Amino acid sequence: MYAVVMHSLVVVHSRNPGIGNGLTYDPGDLNVQPGSLVKVSFRKKLTEGIVVSMDEVVKEKTYEVLKMQESLSEEPLLSESHLKTARWMAGYYFCSLRSALTPFLPSPPWRRLIAKERASVQKTCHPEHVEGSTRFSLGMTQLNDEQKIALESIRADKRPSLLFGVTGSGKTEVYAHLIADHMKSGKQSIVLVPEILLTEHILHRFEELFDRDSIAVLHSRLTPVARAKQWKKIRSGEVFLVIGSRSALFAPCKNLGLVIIDEEHEWTYKNEQTPRYHVRETAETLCNFSNAKLVFGTATPSLESWKRVKEEHYHMARLEKRYRDQALPSVRVIDLADVCFGKQYPFSPPLLAAIEERLKRGEQSVLFLNRRGIASAMLCLKCKKRLMSPASQLPYTVHRDARGNPYLLDHFSGTRASVPVACPHCGTHELLEVGAGTQRLEEVIGTLFPKARVLRADSDMLQTPEQMRELLQKMRDREADILLGTQSVVKGLDLPEVTLAAVLIADIGLSLPHFRAGERVFQLLTQLTGRSGRAKAGEVIIQTFRPDAAEIQAAAQHRTVEYLETELRLRTSLGYPPLTEMIRFIFRSVDASTRAKELKEELLQKITENKIDAHVSASPTVFGGGKVWHVLLRGKHLRSMLPNLNLTDVIVDVDPVECL
C-alpha cells in the first residue's frame, strides 16, 4: 500500500555530524512552512529545528516518520531567498546544510528571536513615512557631475556594479544616494566593510545622513544578547540600513533591495571557518534570489572583479577624480638600502623631515607598518638563530606588557612565551631584539618628537569598534598629531587634516610564496596614498628595499588599471585564479602528511584518467609547524573529480584566499 504524504526536512539544533543535512519529520496538521521554527523529537528529547523544505512524497504506509511536536513561529525565521542561498552555499562550498545555515541565525535557543511586531515598528520604514522619519532629504550631499553619471549608470544596470573610484573620489556619497533610493521604495540595504573596526567609521558617515534609530550594526563581536536584539530589529522592518562586517550579509532583511560591498578587494571577505564562503560569490547569489542590486566599491579592484568586468558579467562605473577636484598626493619612493639609520630605524632622514614639517604646520601624519610589537624577532648574537615558536615554526614577535616587560608572541598560533635568560640553541646570554614593530616605533617617535601626540592603532590597542570610534574622533578633533598603526590605518579612513602618509617598510609581504602577494602589497600601498591630502595638498612616502618592484612603482604612479592588466596577463600565463579554479584540502589529523599524500595520488590518477587540465600539490602549511598539511588542486572543471573521494577528515576550502 502506498500513500502521498507531506514531509518536512528539518535541520535540528545538534552538533551530531551525521545529521548535518537534516532529518525528515511529519508535520501532521501543524501550520509550518520553509523557514519555520519548530520543536521536534530527537534522541528522545525535544529540540529546536528549522524547516528547510516541504515536499510531497510517496511512501509505504508501514514506514513510520516521527511527527513534528510543535510550531514555534507564526512567520518563518528565514525567508525563501535566505534558504535558497543556504542550499547554494552547502553545495558550492562542500559543507552541511546546518553549517550553511549557521551565519543566518544568532546562536540558539532560537525561540528568543520570536517577538510580536509592534505597529509603530512596522510603520517606520513604510514608504509613506520615510520622508518624515529620516533626515536624508535635508542632509544628502550634493553630487558632482562625475558622481551623478556613475549613480545613474548603476541605477540603470541590473547586473552587479563595480564602482571603481580613486581614493577620495566620493564613493560613500554615491552609496548614500542608492540607499535613499531603496529606502523610498520601502526596501532595506546592507553595507559591508572588510573589518569590524571599520564599522564605526562608516557608521559615522551615515549617521550624518540618516536617523541612527533606523540603522543596525551587525558583526561577530556582538554579545549573543546584543546580536539577537539587532537581529529582531532588522527582521521586524524597523531598520532600513544594516552596516557590518562579513557576517552582516546574512541579516534577516525581509525586503532586501541593495547590498554594497565596500573595499571589495579585501581578503577578509573570505571566511576562514566552516562554512568557508566568500562574500563576493555569496552576495551575488543572495541578490539574485532576492531581486536586489549588488554594488562593489573600491579604488583597487580585485583581479576576480576586474576579470568579470572585462567579461561584461559586471557593470562598471568610474570615478577618476577626487571629490571637489582635490589633487592626488605626490609620492616619494625612498630606497632604504642607501639609508644609514643608527638608532632611528626604520625612519629615514627625509621621512623625519616630513613629519617635523607637519608638526610645525599643525597638520597630521599617518604612519603604516604591517607588524605589531616591539621587534620582529629575538636574535642570538652568537649563533645568529632567532627564537622560534614550536607551534608554527616561525619567529616569535617581541611585545611589551603594560608594565614594560618584554614577552614573546606567535601571531599565527596565539602562543605566548617568556623571554628566556639564555639562547636555547647555544646557551649564550647575548639575545637582541631586532627589527621593528608598532610598539617600537611609538617609542622611537616619542624620543624624536617628544611633544608630538601619538595614537597607536593595532590589534593590541584596538579590540572593539568603540575603541576605533574614540581614536577616529580624537583625530577629527585634532587631539593627535600622528596616527601609527597596522592595516586598519590604511583602509577607507577619511581624515581631512592628514597631509602625510608613509609606509615604513613596503617590502613586508612582497616575498611571500603566494600568487596573491604582489596584488596585496599594491592594494595596501594604493590605499595608503588615499589617506593623505583629502582636503589640502598631501604627500606620500614609500620606504622600501625594493624600489623597482612593479607593485611599488605602479602604486607610486597611480597606475591601477595598468597594474591590473599586467597582473591578469601574468595569472593567465601561469594558470592561476581568477583564470582557473582552486580548491584547497586541509588535513589536521595525526596522520596529516600520509592522508595529504594519498589524496594527491588519488587526484593525480583522476587527472590522468579523465584528461583534465589541472595541477595538484601536497605540502605542510607554512604556519602549521609541520602538523598541518594541505593539498592544492588548481585548474578547470575541478568538481568533476570530487565525487567518490574520501573527505571525512578533510576541510574543503573552495576558492581559497590563503594558500600558505
pLDDT tens-digit series, residues 123-158: 445 444 444 444 554 487 789 999 999 999 999 999
Are 541 and 589 found together in one domain? no
Evaluate whether 153 touches 295 at the Cβ level (below 8 Å).
Answer: no
Which residue, among 233, 187, 196, has the nearest Cα to 214 in the 3D structure? Answer: 233
Evaluate whether 200 touches 465 at the Cβ level (below 8 Å).
Answer: yes
Evaluate whether 162 touches 313 at the Cβ level (below 8 Å).
Answer: no
Neighbours of 553 (CB within 10 A): 17
Within a domain: 8: yes
Q: How far is CA 577 from the centre of its chain?
A: 19
The residue among 113, 128, 147 that closes a domain is: 113
Are 308 and 356 found together in one domain? no
CATH number of the domain to which 634 belongs: 3.30.70
C-alpha to C-alpha distance for 619 and 630, rounded to whole angstroms? 6
Range 412-418 contact pairs with CB under 8 angstroms and sequence separation of 24 or more: 412/623, 413/389, 413/623, 413/625, 415/389, 415/390, 415/391, 417/389
Tens digits of residue pLDDT in 316-333: 999 999 988 889 999 999
Are 346 and 209 found together in one domain? no
Evaluate whether 163 touches 172 at the Cβ level (below 8 Å).
Answer: no
- Tell me what percent of the residues of the chain surpass a pLDDT of 90: 60
Number of domains in the chain: 4
**In the prediction, which pLDDT does 65 show?**
86
Reported as half-sphere exposure (CB side, CA atoms, 13 A), residue 189 has a value of 24
The residue among 519, 546, 570 that closes a domain is: 570
Question: What average pLDDT does this structure show over 466-488?
Answer: 89
Please give the residue range of the domain that contains residue 162.
119-324
Sheet holding 188-192, edge to edge: 215-218, 241-244, 188-192, 256-262, 293-298, 161-165, 315-319
Q: How far is CA 542 from the centre of its chain?
A: 25
Evaluate whether 29 touches 48 at the Cβ level (below 8 Å).
Answer: no
Are 343 and 292 found together in one domain? no
Radius of gyration from C-alpha coordinates of the chain: 27
Within a domain: 40: yes
Question: What average pLDDT does this structure show over 520-538?
Answer: 91
**356, containing H or E segment:** helix 349-361
Within a domain: 539: yes
Are 319 and 333 found together in one domain? no
Tens digits of residue pLDDT in 591-610: 999 999 999 999 999 999 98
Are 203 and 307 found together in one domain? yes
Are 155 and 258 found together in one domain? yes
Which residue, among 197, 350, 312, 326, has the nearest Cα to 263 in the 3D structure? Answer: 197
C-alpha to C-alpha distance for 491 and 264, rounded to whole angstroms? 11
**In the prediction, which pLDDT does 653 show?**
96
Within a domain: 394: no
Question: What average pLDDT does this structure show over 617-642?
Answer: 89
The residue among 570, 601, 625 that closes a domain is: 570
C-alpha to C-alpha distance for 246 and 87, rounded to whole angstroms? 19
Within a domain: 601: yes
**In the prediction, which pLDDT does 554 show?**
96
Helix (H, G, I), strand (E, B) or coil at 315: strand
Are 318 and 333 found together in one domain? no
C-alpha to C-alpha distance for 513 and 659, rounded to whole angstroms? 9
Please, what is the end-to-end C-alpha distance for the chain in angstroms?
A: 58
C-alpha to C-alpha distance for 264 and 303, rounded to whole angstroms? 11
Are 130 and 192 found together in one domain? yes
CATH number of the domain to which 289 belongs: 3.40.50.300
Which residue shows C-alpha cell 593590541?
A: 460
Within a domain: 397: no
The dihedral region occupied by 201, where left means phi > 0, alpha psi between -120 and 50, and beta the remainder, is alpha
Which residue, among 266, 292, 290, has the nearest Cα to 280 in the 3D structure? Answer: 266
Question: What average pLDDT does this structure show over 206-212?
Answer: 88
Q: 24, exposed or middle or buried, with CB in 10 Å at 0-12, 13-18, 19+?
A: middle
Are 526 and 456 found together in one domain? yes
CATH number of the domain to which 28 belongs: 3.40.1440.60
Helix (H, G, I), strand (E, B) or coil at 616: strand
Which neighbouring-strand residues pair with 455? Answer: 483
Within a domain: 181: yes
Tens digits of residue pLDDT in 82-105: 999 999 999 999 999 999 999 999
Within a domain: 385: no
Least confident of 42-51, 72-81, 283-292, 418-427: 418-427
Q: Which three cell numbers stand for residue 539?
A: 604627500
Are 127 and 202 found together in one domain? yes
Q: Which amino acid is at 606?
A: K
**In the prediction, which pLDDT does 3 show?**
67
Are 239 and 340 found together in one domain? no
Residue 518, C-beta contacts closer than 8 angstroms, at least 6 positions apart: 510, 549, 550, 551, 567
14 φ/ψ angles, rounded to the nearest 5 degrees:
-160, 150
